[in-house]
A = this chain, B = another copy of it.
Amino acid sequence: MDAQNCLKILREIKDVAFATVNDEGKLEVRIIDVMIVEEDKLYFCTGRGKDFYRQLMKHPDVAVTGLNKEFQMVRLSGKAEKLTDQKHWIDRIFEENPVMNGVYPGESRYILEPFCIESGELEFFDLGKSPIYRESFTFGHAEAPDEQEIHKEKDGSCALREKGFRITNGCIGCGKCMRNCPQQCITKGKPFVIHQEHCLHCGLCFENCPVQAIVRRGA
């Protein structure tokens, strides 16, 4: 899995959830079509009369998610930027998604404005596999808000804002965490090791360690 394939999954799902905040700071979420994905950029559009449009113009930071039929979930967070070449992009979007002509026939399509997310963070979470599998990426020019938040994985990839738990040197090797893990993603060692790519982040090991040797990552 990589960022490009995560974006492709969102395009295949097509109807994904976009979360925004409104003027009162209240959360909103609705289904929006992913219209084009190319060169690691995600394109969508919305009507200038819609609340969603006004929210994007005021608070362009959005969170996006979708789940495909194989139970692979992709989560994206990034900034949605309005594109200046409206006619070009709306025409491209209608070319790639002819079903749009049923909703916005003829010239009415130009009430829509095109938006692009060209950088951000992505999380891939495969619930169709046992054990589950997860991985995080950045795409575009996204940079971690704080250098310390970047964690270099053993395979060289970068995972942002570490989530979940890790076992510290306080581990006494009793094996309680390993026996209790619902995904069996903990293996023996000094200390024992949580295999992060298969971890649900459920917290069962953390709560049950008899010597509190398990701590939150990134805390």
Contact = CB atoms under 8 A, between A and B. Distances in A.
A105 B182 contact: yes
Interface in A102-119: 102-105, 108, 111-112
B26 A77 contact: yes
Nearest to A47: B202
A193 interface: no
A30 to B, nearest CB: 6
A122 interface: no
A158 interface: no
This chain: copies in complex: 2
A83 interface: no
A20 B27 contact: yes
A206 interface: yes
A176 to B, nearest CB: 13
A200 B130 contact: no
A9 interface: no
A47 B77 contact: no
Contacts of A201: 47, 49-51
Interface string A41-82: 000000111110100000001111111000001010100000
30 contacts: A17-B17, A17-B29, A17-B66, A19-B27, A19-B28, A19-B63, A20-B27, A27-B27, A27-B61, A27-B63, A27-B77, A28-B77, A29-B29, A29-B75, A30-B75, A31-B73, A47-B201, A47-B204, A48-B203, A48-B207, A49-B165, A49-B200, A49-B202, A49-B204, A51-B163, A103-B132, A104-B182, A108-B181, A111-B182, A111-B204
Closest 9 CB pairs of A and B: A49-B203, A17-B17, A47-B202, A19-B19, A108-B182, A27-B63, A19-B29, A29-B63, A111-B204
Interface of A: 15, 17-21, 26-31, 47-51, 53, 61-67, 73, 75, 77, 102-105, 108, 111-112, 125, 127, 130, 132, 163-165, 180-183, 200-204, 206-207
